[in-house]
Structure 1
Amino acid sequence: MRYVTLLVTLVGLLGGMRSASAAEPLPHPQGAVILAVTGNVTQTNAPGQAQFDKAMLEALGKASYTTSSEVSATPMTFEGVPLRAVLERVGALGKTIKATALNAYQISIPMEDLQFEPILAMKVDGRVITARDKGPLWIAYPRDAHPVLQDAKYDSRWVWQLSRLHIE
């Protein structure tokens, strides 16, 4: 039996920090942009999109869990930011998220998937992931916590090398 550890720490719970709401202006990235969010969003910081660097994403909160995946025989620990936090920050209004990877792979993810608390992983097993090893962002689901997630339909939504989210 596999054990899944789910840890979600929102910025608002971290010592004295406050979380930014979708009503506050989205700052401009100071580092390399690793994620762009387009489509039906209310907050942008570039023409037609919300751009995030690593620090901006990390400021939205932290989440981690240990779970199996289609790409590994043993459970791995994924650490990153809750996808829900990113969508809330940009004021996403829609029913579908089109996720696009650096290699142009695209998949539509229904907003209902947020019930499973997927994350945008930036670390796997304590190591920062790079484009060479499925990073800088990898959509991960707590596969072992929900038997329904152990299906090819959900496996296809584990987008590695994520670069863009489009809200429809």
Structure 2
Amino acid sequence: MPLPSPSLTPLAALLAATVLAPALAVAAEDDILLTVTDSDGAVLARLDMEALQALPARVIETSTIWTDGIQVFTGVPLATLMQDLAPEAQSISATAINDYAVEIPRSGWADGAALLAYLNHGEPMSLREKGPLWIVFPFDADPAYRQEVVYARSIWQLDRISVTE
């Protein structure tokens, strides 16, 4: 198998290895937390917790309208994930385990605020705790993140992202 080109970003190289070299990144079907597809339905990435945790992480400390007190979320900036998987994407559909879906335009992730959280207070989130993946924003950082449209994009139990345009 050819090695990733040195011109690839570390994230792109990791994702290429995950997608193109299943022998190197074998995950049981049940371990996949997130599947990302392009506008034609082709799979761009299938990520388990290990793959997500290998990506550049950020922490957001914020309150939410769904939880009590300050939450400490750790995850991958959605902008980072989209830049490396679908850099030309203008819109995505984020879908939860229960098939609830929300459209997020590029402006909803381009500023880097949206976080694909996989930990809260340093621990994986169970389904009951809105996990295992939850798109969150730094709600306390700016009133712009405390609007209904942003709350609607804060999808929990996320398991699919599809590029829509």
Work out whether the TM-score is over 0.5. yes
Higher helix share: 2
Q: Aligned-pair distance for 1:89?
A: 2.5
Residue identity matched to 1:20 = L
Residue identity matched to 1:87 = M
Q: Is 1:51 aligned to residue 46 of structure 2?
A: yes
| C-alpha distance in 1 between matches for 2:113 and 2:139 | 10
5+ residue gaps, structure 2, are: 1-8
Which of 147, 150, 158 is the aligned partner of 1:151? 147
> Which residue in the other structure is 1:30 paired with?
26
| C-alpha distance in 2 between matches for 1:37 and 1:93 | 14
Is the deviation greater in 19-28 or in 48-57?
19-28
Q: Are the equivalent residues in 2 in contact too, given 1:21–1:88 (CA < 8 A)?
A: no
Normalising by structure 2, what TM-score? 0.79
Aligned length: 146
Is the deviation greater in 56-65 or in 28-37?
28-37
Identity score, percent: 29
The alpha-carbon distance between structure 1 residues 86 and 26, as it changes in their structure 2 partners (threshold 3 A), is: farther
5+ residue gaps, structure 1, are: 1-17, 42-46
SS in 2 for 1:143: coil
Give the CA RMSD over aligned residues: 2.2
After TM superposition, what 4+ stretches of structure 1 lie above 3 angstroms from structure 2? none
Q: Are the equivalent residues in 1 in contact too, given 2:78–2:112 (CA < 8 A)?
A: no
The alpha-carbon distance between structure 1 residues 142 and 80, as it changes in their structure 2 partners (threshold 3 A), is: same
> Which residue in the other structure is 2:124 paired with?
128
Q: Aligned-pair distance for 1:40?
A: 4.0
| C-alpha distance in 1 between matches for 2:106 and 2:42 | 21
Is the deviation greater in 89-98 or in 60-69?
89-98
Q: Are the equivalent residues in 1 in contact too, given 2:38–2:86 (CA < 8 A)?
A: no
Q: Are the equivalent residues in 1 in contact too, given 2:82–2:89 (CA < 8 A)?
A: no
| C-alpha distance in 2 between matches for 1:118 and 1:26 | 25
Residue identity matched to 1:137 = L
